[in-house]
Amino acid sequence: MGLTQKILLFASALVVALVVTSLAFTTFQANELAHFTIDQGLKETREVWDTFQADRYKQLRLGIRVLGNDPAFKAAVANREDPAVRQATVLDMLKERGQDLKADFFIATDADGVVIARSDRPGGAGEDLSQQEIVRKPLEGEESSTIWRQGDRLANAVAVPMQTGPSLVGVLVAGYGIDEALAGQIHKLTHSQIAYLVQDAGKPPRLSVSSLGPKEPALTAALARPDFPAGKGEMESFDLDLAGERYVGVTIPLRTAGGEAVGSALALRSFSEETASFRKFRDSLILVSLIVMAGGLVVAYLAARRITGPVRTLVDLVERARDGSFTGAVTVNTGDEIGVLARTFNNLMTDLRQKEQMIDFLREGMTILKKGAGSAATVSGSEVTLSATAALPAVTGGGTRKLEPGQLFATRYEILDEVGKGGMGVVYRARDRQLDEVVALKVLRGEALRDDPSLLDRFKQEIKLARKITHKNVLRTHDFGESDGVSYISMEYLEGVTLKDLIKNRGALPLGVGLSIAKQMCKGLDAAHLTGVVHRDIKPQNMLILMESGDLKIMDFGIARVSQVKGGEVSGLTSAGTVMGTPDYMPPEQAQGHPADFRSDIYSLGVVLFEAFTGTLPFTGDTLMAIIMGHLQKPPPKPRSVNPRLPIDLEAVILRCLEKDPARRFAQVEDLQEALTEVSSTVEAA
């Protein structure tokens, strides 16, 4: 699976996870809200039912008391002469007065509780109601208000005694039926479905009336099931399935005034109706999510293609680089990680191309060299010479015991041959028997140590610092010791050409070659500065370039920088008197005897860059003093005045290194390296 597909898959999984999480969270919240709303609605239904009952009883009492106290009505009830006439008269009066009170039924009984007439059932005369609670209390002289069950019908009823003086004439009963109209009114006010149930002992509850309409058969069937929650406590909620629709219900007990249970009111709330709005929102959310997901996947795919495009190019270029081709670049102009990666890789490819150009340049010089005789060949009127590692300036010295090939020195170094002589001693190629490798062995002159007794201590201190530097662009220092009174230093041994010899024999370096060398010098010097070492003798003679790899090594930390010569008028000598450093590359502050810091090395490096890209030194003279005064007083010439082919950005970099005031130079070598990298990128782009 490719990176684009992985990003697309991740984006898809992320979007799906977000949508599913959102749906799960909103569903949970909606269910919680629905349950809360249902609970509040059911409580409200109970309150509305109680209010309805109280209002019904109040209206019934007001109307029935008026009729019960009507002398004409009481006289008709008390007339016992003709039962048929009495029944007809009482029934007519009940019907007439019932229209005013709008009660669903009236019942008039005699003093014994036997029905004289009733408006709801004209043929009900003669029925004995004396044992019914609704009539029993009025027979005892008290009013009665209660729920009255007659068969499967329920009613809110009020009964009052009718008296003439102290004598009881009869009982008048009026009531409002608990019917579909009442259930409908409560449903309209509360949005709860209401069902009134009756139940006999040992039998399942039966439906009396409800507001369920078409769902009544489903409730009737549910009431007959054994799992119907008939035994739930008052206002304890339960779930009920009616024709596939989920309801949440509570039971409201219906009792007579004496506390006898005659049935119950079942208040129901549809869970589907409560969550209908949420379901619409959820469906809209799913639709929008699908649209957003589709759009997001398209955007993710395009973004993934944009992100992985440079990566694919990078992979292709890496494969080509493995095959030795360093052409091409990754074009990304962003500040994100991909942009940084692209720029870093482009800089790497630029370094490799410049390194390849330098190797070709060096091989060309070697080819010309091999056509000549001996160790040198004439090229354009100059010589190309091979130098050994850590070759010191060609100032002959004396007084040091000469070591012969095959001789064992310091019990561990087998002398192979003499490489060269320097101002401070002789350099040998030797085999370190303990390390089993070839090293450069520098044997210090005894005369130099006698002339400056503190020199040895300074060398030891500098060697301690130099040994801390571990970088591929710095020549490694192995050891410092003494043998039979002779001080020596063992170092990494490599063969190559010094930058000084390269410039002297080839002139100004090609731009790519020079930039490769410059950046390698910066890397090695930066490693030294990070350990706190100031070289103080940066010059092309101390830059060794390996012919086969093009790698550069900075050498002579703390050794070549302190040399003594006798006067002289030759440019390129190390010093005059006790001046530290090489006048051709000496920063102004060092020439004035001020302490040198990292910016001093940057100035010397600027002189080396000037020489490398122009083939000449910025300051020349017939005497050492003339050269030093140039560094102190004269502005450096512009490199493009000597080599017009140089980029203007490179000229600015070199001139900044050559500022007289250290504060105006690059603060650290890393900054100089970044500036050179920018120049390389600009050159490559051009």
Q: What angle do CA 194, 199, 200 make, to 5 degrees?
A: 175
Nearest C-alpha neighbor of 420 from the set 375, 478, 381: 375
CA distances from 498 to 388, 512, 540 (A): 9, 18, 7
In 538-583, DSSP assigns E strands to 543-546, 552-554
Q: Which two tokens stand for residue 158?
A: 């009020």
Residue 215 gets which letter from DSSP? G
Task: Find out whether 656 and 679 touch, Cβ atoms under 8 Å.
Answer: no
d(CA 387, CA 585): 21
d(CA 656, CA 324): 36
Nearest C-alpha neighbor of 523 from the set 354, 642, 677, 311: 677
**389 burial type by CB count under 10 A (0-12 exposed, 13-18 middle, 19+ buried):** buried
> Which amino acid appears at position 301 of this protein?
Y
d(CA 570, CA 567): 9
> Which amino acid appears at position 609 of this protein?
L
**202 burial type by CB count under 10 A (0-12 exposed, 13-18 middle, 19+ buried):** exposed
Nearest C-alpha neighbor of 210 from the set 231, 172, 182, 242: 182
Q: Which two tokens stand for residue 673?
A: 């390296």
What phi and psi, each to the nearest 5 degrees, are found at residue 209?
Answer: -145, 165
CB under 8 Å to 143, separation ≥6 — which residues? Answer: 61, 137, 158, 159, 160, 161
CB under 8 Å to 293, separation ≥6 — which residues? Answer: 12, 15, 16, 19
Where do we find the tokens 């969550």? 275
User: Regarding beta strands 245-255 and 477-483, do their DSSP bridges make them parallel or antiparallel, or are they unpaired?
Assistant: unpaired
Q: Which two tokens stand for residue 399?
A: 């007084």
d(CA 209, CA 152): 9
Question: Which residues are known to be catalytic?
Answer: 537
Q: What is the DSSP string of 286-326?
A: HHHHHHHHHHHHHHHHHHHHHHHHHHHHHHHHHHHHHTT--
User: Regarding beta strands 261-270 and 376-379, do their DSSP bridges make them parallel or antiparallel, or are they unpaired?
Assistant: unpaired
Q: Which two tokens stand for residue 312?
A: 């694919």
Task: Find out whether 141 and 158 touch, Cβ atoms under 8 Å.
Answer: no
Alpha helices in 245-275 (DSSP H): 271-274
CA distances from 597 to 521, 529, 594 (A): 17, 9, 10
3-68 and 180-190 are packed helices; what angle lies between their axes, rounded to 10 degrees? 130
What phi and psi, each to the nearest 5 degrees, are found at residue 650?
Answer: -65, -40
Task: Find out whether 252 and 192 touch, Cβ atoms under 8 Å.
Answer: no
